[in-house]
């Protein structure tokens, strides 16, 4: 049984954002991969510096359309987001940057749209989940063709949204993941492939939005 200490796998653009905004990025993270990008292994969350933010470049953007208060419909692209695959018995935690997931609130209805990272699924897969907010407009139970999720709109910890997901309707192309991983960082390709293989058999992940 693996101990409570786990390793975290940081992907290229995420590692670049972290190293630009924090002095705690690991020295061993540089040097490999195409175009100067790297995939790095950093110390686990129980280290002195805690968990590294999945995106440190830019604040959340919102659009309300009604200066007097929240409009009936709110559509908000969010730039600081990551998809997290929890650590397994033999795999590290994987954190993948997500480009501008779209959140939509219309009355009691909630919807989120985003694309899963290519390094995780090996292709272009869009996720669209929708459902109803609770009376406090904090928790939404959402579903779609890809699967189901429970989303917390006030999770704290610097996050504006956290969705725990079970995506049983997605597919993972491990051959494509291997090609992308070996191009991105050959040294970390085995770990990336192992995470994708585990996600293919147990498609449980967490979407975090800042």
Tell me what the pLDDT averaged over the chain comes to: 74
CA–CA separation, 134 and 137 (whole Å): 5
Threshold 0.75, pTM exceeds: no
- Spatial strand order in the sheet of 147-152: 40-42, 8-10, 93-98, 81-85, 204-209, 161-166, 147-152, 139-144, 126-133, 109-115, 102-106, 73-77
**Closest to 170 (Cα-Cα) out of 208, 129, 121:** 121
Q: pLDDT of 20-64, one tens digit each?
A: 443 333 333 333 333 333 333 332 334 333 333 333 333 333 333
Domain boundaries, the chain: 8-209
Estimate the crossing angle of helix 174-184 against helix 189-201, to 10 degrees.
150
Q: Maximum Cα–Cα distance for the chain, whole Å?
A: 55
Cα dihedral sign, 43-46-49-50: positive
């Amino acid at each position: 049984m693996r101990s409570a200490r786990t390793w975290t796998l940081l992907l290229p653009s995420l590692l670049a954002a972290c190293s630009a905004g924090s002095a705690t990025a690991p020295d061993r993270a540089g040097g490999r991969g195409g175009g100067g990008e790297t995939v790095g292994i950093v110390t686990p969350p129980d280290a002195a510096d805690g968990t590294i933010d999945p995106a440190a470049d830019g604040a959340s953007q919102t659009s309300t359309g009604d200066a007097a208060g929240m409009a009936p419909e709110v559509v908000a692209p969010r730039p600081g987001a990551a998809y997290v695959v929890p650590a397994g018995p033999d795999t590290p935690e994987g954190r993948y940057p997500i480009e501008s997931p779209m959140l939509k609130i219309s009355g009691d209805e909630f919807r989120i749209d985003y694309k899963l990272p290519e390094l995780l699924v090996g292709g272009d897969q869009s996720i669209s989940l929708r459902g109803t907010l609770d009376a406090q407009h904090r928790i939404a139970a959402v579903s779609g063709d890809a699967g189901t999720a429970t989303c917390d709109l006030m999770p704290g910890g610097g996050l504006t949204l956290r969705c725990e997901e079970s995506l049983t309707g997605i597919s993972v192309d491990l051959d494509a993941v291997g090609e992308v991983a070996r191009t991105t960082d050959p040294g970390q390709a085995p770990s990336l492939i192992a995470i994708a293989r585990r996600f293919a058999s147990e498609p449980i992940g967490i979407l975090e939005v800042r």
